[in-house]
Chain A
């Protein structure tokens, strides 16, 4: 498979170069119809049941069909009212009471009321629920903190949690928290995912397998009907083909533009390029349990040795920014902007390694061939190997296909490797550190702390931040956590990915969101 990939990569560069020549000759663009937005997606969706999907690719569609009780404020990762007009949280952080917006209906005509909201969470969480078998619901653990959901009257929903859980509101804004129509689920059963019904600005019209998903304007939308008549989502898995379709006018909007092609679109005034840093972090897990990496100085040395600027500029071609710590800057309210990324300083790295007595150590490095959010893992791995060789480490790379890779890394690196690539995209500053940096999150306790990092101070801060419902207080705790983790260096902090998209010149009112969702209700294309 490898030579094929290398060839395909070469072919991609060749295409990019030739396409530049081609487009500067200025061929007329084929037109898509007015008021219809054609979106180039990276794959066929798995389902349009928001509780059954896990991929950003599917989120891009469902976010336009459905709404949750709350949503992220435009351009931020802070929640604001959506289907719920307002809410109160009890002092102990255990009871959330939501007041629903009046007069909202699902696309199938049934009313959105408290019973419908309760149904949504019961279907996901209760294994004995009659429609639980319309799942599986892989991300239902986002709501595992819920003890009960009550509907005291048609306009009020009360959630009682088992333990205080600060990310609860943020999770309600995530696709797993979107509200589906109980009537449609009951009538469609297992086929609901292909016949969805929500309350959002667009309603489902058609899904032709492997060709398109069509959404049309919801004229009765409570927030005002969108300007677009229809949105067509086309799955085009090959990035070069997606670029060619965009260039030939077959698409109005394209997501995940390959790094090779971004500058080409940027230089062409028929297109507009959008970039938006998101809640993503790309890092190396360092095995703090054994070997050279069990010494903090060596882990810091790795951070100094890697030229992150060169990685983001040359390997990722500007599609990512250098990461400073474990929390991405997209969580602006919780991000500690006092942290500066470790500078590229090989001398300092060699000094620290010598101090720790690990000169010339042999290291095993797990690299993946690809995977969700992993950007360009093989080239990144090779560049990192070269940087570490410069400070005297003999790094042996082992490359695995994504699923195999996860099967090796998630159970822990002990006895296998000194470092491994990893990337996460989350919706709350709690998620990643809580699942991957706490002592109680070591793999044998069911977490993702595959490098066995342990610092009781960090554990305490994360527990406290999770049980507080005051955002300012949480922010303070996360900032302290970042300072400690930065210094302990359980990971090598490498990059924060910038999501990108390209639109044709007729498209207006579009912007990317830090959540990586694609929100189209405000877009026009006369």
Chain B
């Protein structure tokens, strides 16, 4: 007896490892009229705190998620409905709502959430989400890993087959970086696509991953259906060399935390867990050498060695450029390098990790761009 005019708002699942989240506070009151994209509430996970945006319209008829309380993923935390839906129907909906159980079990049966592929560059870890539709590849930036897409991957996977990989030297992929250049990383990405049987994909690259995606579009244009460049390297010479050196050099929580705060407009987003996870990565044998080789090759002396903007403008690959206005690592005005040939969106109130800080807006731009380019 589910009434289609009653729309549940549930605890979101951000990333592959999230099983529960804490409601930290509501940004809308019961009775408010909600539009798509409105910020409803804040949720804290062990990795990050972020805002849940409305995906549908309606009046916020019930708020069930208590601030300070932890709820499992998909638990009902609020109800949207038009004003004319009777209260009794809403109460019936709430009492009949059951958290869709067994999804985690189902995934476990279907296989692990992370996979590995043997490629010419070594073992590459990746995640694959969604079935059918266009094929999308997410390429993280310097020092990042596929979890940088924790707010992106499931949103895109609703209408696409999405791969996210750890580049060589990163995450849980091989720590050997045979060729620490954009070409070398691009070759590694193409080798990964070969090994998972993908001929052509829509490339979504963040920061250094954007430059790797551009390099691939120039060297192997047949394999890049479109480019989405998020706070991308390779569009100008400037970069915060202090950030790169600080990230490479930091060995303790005290050193690393202020460096990571550079990545966000809202410094409070840098959680203890985020710092700890990155320290665990940085301590692995081979990571320090890999990061030093990459930074020396790509970002020596606080400048970007490769600027690919004019080549991309000539190549006519359908391109989206997204930037956080408050990016303190790569300046947002680099977005204008492709202003004549690409769709450019600069998002206020977000920093370098704009795909995390303004996930709803970035996901909408990506979905739109990929749908049009496919």
A and B interact physically = no
